């Protein structure tokens, strides 16, 4: 028999007297929380030790040193990476092997390299380098928000101006995007985490991807930075398939528009994986030509051990199912605590992602920074409020990114109980 729950009255609908009592109760709960001396961390989306342990067979690989084509992986060369790993991830990313580069351990480094090459040399379809734009023209990039803070950090480093648009469940606000890019040649690109977006968990649909691929842009060399970091990181047995942006763009007459990035950083070892870039054949040649000015080849031994470890694209999928068994209960714990502690009070909303590494928590306007500060005083480290917005500026001060993967399950529950107490205290303060 299911236990019935008493209806909960929204906090904003309560009388001043009731709010005063509620505030006093939350202050007492928070004092008790601080006295516990907690030291918990929900700041970054890191794999847990148990997830890293899944890949320890890598430590005894590779067997032999030659790849499938007979190349000695100990030696120089092979800027595009070894054939079998490119083929494996081409299947997973829905592209052709000749459209894939397998590189070092960081896709973020690849993104910086691409931006640098565009800035200094221009792209395959550029009239001039981005850094040599006509006098007075500031290069701009569309940033769906909430979004990935490291993308925004790269823009700041280049002096590229972020232009924000809302991120919806099916992708960015396309009416806003299409309007912006159609009339402003200084808008050169858009950041996207298309599958299980960081931090919202949104999934760009095939329909939205088709509009991105086909939309008229004032900049002839407009780029879609398609950061498919979580393409295989499913939390349910029903797995979302990433939109086929490269095929859509080629069919729309813009084959060089998208540049895709991915990595095994949260699949095998976070600091010793393999990163991937994918694009048109011309884009791949453009990238490796510039790469060759400062590199002679990637760590092909690490690529070979990864190819042997997985065995096939299906091997990657099977491996990720084991990841799901470890982290899905943690996401369930986040939802359970938030629902039990905050449900019905109208003081917060949160996502229930089906993949990825984050839960997006929106609290009452004007209280996110206060929640994070309260949590810090109580020993719970959260990502700074506003981190999911360019320059850390959340105009509504309501967004908090939660990262439940790294702590043990019990610690996730304990941390979320603490976060809920902080949310309630901040809300009571704001409404009183």
For 249-266, write each residue's pLDDT tens digit: 999 999 999 999 999 999
User: Are 355 and 234 a contacting pair, CB within 8 Å?
Assistant: yes
Q: Where in the chain do CATH 3.90.1150.10 domains reside?
A: 11-51+318-431
Mean pLDDT of 59-79: 97
pLDDT of residue 6: 61
| Mean pLDDT (whole number) for 10-35 | 96
* DSSP one-letter code for 56: G
133-141 long-range contacts (CB < 8 A, ≥24 apart) are 133/186, 137/185, 137/186, 138/186, 139/186, 139/188, 140/184, 140/186, 140/187, 140/188, 141/187, 141/188, 141/189, 141/190, 141/191
The owner of tokens 């089906």 is 354
Q: Tell me which residue of 195, 244, 205, 217 sits closest to 354, measured CA to CA.
A: 195
According to CATH, where is 3.40.640.10 located in the chain?
66-311
The reply to whether omega before 146 is within 30° of 0 (cis) is yes
Burial of 129 (0-12, 13-18, 19+ CB in 10 A): middle
pLDDT of 34 > 70? The answer is yes
Specify the residue for token string 């107490």. 421
The CA angle 334-396-165, to the nearest 5 degrees, is 90
Where are the extended beta strands (E) located within 38-160?
40-42, 100-102, 140-145
The stretch 329-343 carries a mean pLDDT of 98
Write out pLDDT tens, residues 142-193. Answer: 999 999 999 999 999 999 999 999 999 999 999 999 999 999 999 999 999 9
Summarize the confidence of residues 197-211 as an average pLDDT: 97
**For residues 224 and 256, what is the distance between their CA atoms, to the nearest angstrom?**
9
Q: Is residue 216 predicted with pLDDT exceeding 70?
A: yes
Q: What is the pLDDT of residue 420?
A: 98
256 touches 42 (CB < 8 A): no
Tell the residue number behind the tokens 């931006």, with chain if given. Answer: 115
- What are the tens digits of pLDDT across the range 354-403? 999 999 999 999 999 999 999 999 999 999 999 999 999 999 999 999 99
Q: What are 84-99's pLDDT values in tens digits?
A: 999 999 999 999 999 9
Give residue 135's pLDDT band: very low, low, confident or very high (50, 70, 90).
low
Q: What are phi and psi of 320, to 5 degrees?
A: -70, -25
What pLDDT does 2 receive? 44
Tell me if 114 sits within 8 A of 291, measured CB to CB: no
| pLDDT at residue 5 is higher than 60 | no
Percent of the chain with pLDDT over 70: 98
For the ranges 42-46, 170-174, 325-329, the lowest mean pLDDT is seen at 42-46
Cβ atoms of residues 265 and 106 within 8 Å: yes
DSSP structure class, residue 403: -
Joined together, the tokens standing for residue 122 give 């221009």
Alpha helices, DSSP H, located in 343-402: 368-377
Q: Assign domain 11-51+318-431 to a CATH class.
A: alpha beta
Cβ proximity of 347 and 364 under 8 Å: yes
User: CB neighbours (10 Å) of residue 357?
Assistant: 26
d(CA 25, CA 35): 16
Mean pLDDT of 5-17: 86
> At the topology level of CATH, where does 66-311 sit?
3.40.640
* CA distances for 117 relative to 110, 126, 283, angstroms: 10, 11, 11
Token code pair at residue 38: 């907690």
């Amino acid at each position: 028999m299911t236990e019935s729950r008493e209806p909960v009255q929204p906090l904003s609908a309560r009388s001043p007297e009731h709010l005063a009592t509620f505030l006093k109760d939350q202050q007492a709960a928070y004092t008790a929380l601080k006295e516990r001396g907690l030291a918990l961390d929900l700041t970054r989306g890191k794999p847990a030790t148990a997830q890293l342990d899944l890949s320890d067979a890598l430590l005894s690989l590779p067997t032999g040193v030659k790849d499938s084509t007979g190349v000695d992986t100990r030696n120089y060369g092979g800027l595009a990476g070894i054939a079998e790993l490119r083929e494996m991830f081409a299947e997973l990313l829905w592209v052709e092997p000749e459209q894939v580069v397998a590189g070092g351990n960081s896709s973020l480094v690849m993104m910086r390299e691409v931006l640098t090459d565009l800035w200094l040399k221009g792209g395959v379809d550029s009239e001039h380098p981005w850094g040599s734009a006509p006098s007075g023209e500031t290069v701009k990039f569309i940033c769906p928000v909430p979004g990935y803070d490291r993308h925004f950090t790269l823009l700041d480093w280049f002096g590229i101006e972020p232009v924000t648009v809302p991120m919806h469940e099916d992708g960015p606000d396309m009416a806003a995007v299409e309007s912006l890019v159609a009339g402003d040649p200084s808008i050169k690109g858009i950041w996207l985490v298309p599958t299980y977006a960081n931090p919202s968990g949104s999934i760009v649909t095939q329909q939205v991807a088709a509009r991105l691929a086909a939309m008229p842009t004032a900049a002839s060399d407009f780029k879609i930075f398609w950061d498919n970091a979580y393409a295989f990181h499913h939390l349910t047995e029903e797995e979302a398939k990433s939109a086929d942006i490269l095929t859509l763009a080629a069919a729309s007459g813009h084959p060089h528009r998208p540049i895709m990035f991915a990595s095994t950083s949260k699949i095998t070892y976070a600091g010793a994986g393999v990163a991937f870039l994918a694009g048109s054949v011309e884009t791949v040649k453009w990238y490796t030509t510039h790469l060759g000015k400062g590199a002679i080849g990637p760590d092909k031994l690490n690529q070979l051990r990864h190819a042997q470890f997985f065995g096939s694209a299906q091997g990657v999928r099977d491996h990720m199912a084991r990841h799901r068994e470890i982290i899905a209960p943690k996401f369930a714990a986040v939802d359970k605590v938030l629902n039990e502690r905050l449900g019905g009070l109208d003081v917060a909303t949160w996502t229930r992602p089906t993949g990825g590494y984050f839960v997006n928590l929106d609290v009452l306007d004007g209280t996110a920074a206060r929640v994070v500060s309260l949590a810090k005083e109580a020993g719970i480290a959260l990502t700074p409020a506003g981190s999911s917005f360019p320059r850390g500026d959340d105009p509504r001060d309501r967004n908090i990114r939660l990262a439940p993967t790294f702590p043990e399950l019990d610690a996730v529950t304990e941390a979320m109980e603490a976060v809920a107490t902080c949310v309630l205290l901040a809300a009571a303060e704001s409404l009183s």
